[in-house]
Structure 1
């Protein structure tokens, strides 16, 4: 059996609803991206850029409408015409 990270009591709580389960999956994804960024910042940026493109496609091209500040600027950069993640 492979162990990933340290298990806390709060990690074994059962999600109350689908929204809470989704939030937990999102937090796990963010944690994993931080781990990748610590080891390979360029790879982490590539993963985030690809995620932005995939989310924009899944949302019919309006993903950036749900963002503001730095997140909006990052999405604008990635989704600019002629720019595509490597």
Structure 2
């Protein structure tokens, strides 16, 4: 009998379903943004802002509904700066 050692979940890179594959891609994107932020925080913030705007457009202006309050505040700034924001009165 051959001993293979102990396998960790991270040793297996097979997505079980589409949602896990999407989550894995999201985690990889977050890791890449962290690497950029370590080198150039301003560039990383610009990338995050652009991503927020693109996601909000793709979701028909509903992206902010999926964010907690702190994240929503940052998203509002990015959307307002891009001209895509909804006024706070309409977003209540």
TM-score using structure 2 length: 0.75
Moved more, 67-76 or 38-47: 67-76
Q: Name the structure 2 match of 1:61.
A: 61
Alignment pair present for 1:32 and 2:3: no
Q: Name the structure 2 match of 1:51.
A: 51
TM-aligned CA deviation for residue 28 of structure 1:
0.3
TM-aligned CA deviation for residue 70 of structure 1:
1.4
Distance in 1 between the 2:66 and 2:9 partners? 33
Higher relative contact order by CA 8 Å / sep ≥ 6: 1 or 2? 1
Structure 1 unaligned segments of length 5 or more: list them. Answer: 1-7
CA displacement, residues 8-40 of structure 1 (integer Å, 9 cap, x when unaligned): 972542110001011100000000000000000
TM-score using structure 1 length: 0.80
C-alpha distance 12-53 of structure 1, shift in aligned 2 (>3 A)? same
Distance in 2 between the 1:63 and 1:69 partners? 13
User: What RMSD, in angstroms, separates the aligned Cα atoms of the two structures?
Assistant: 1.9
Deviating 4+ runs (over 2 angstroms):
none
Alignment pair present for 1:76 and 2:76: yes
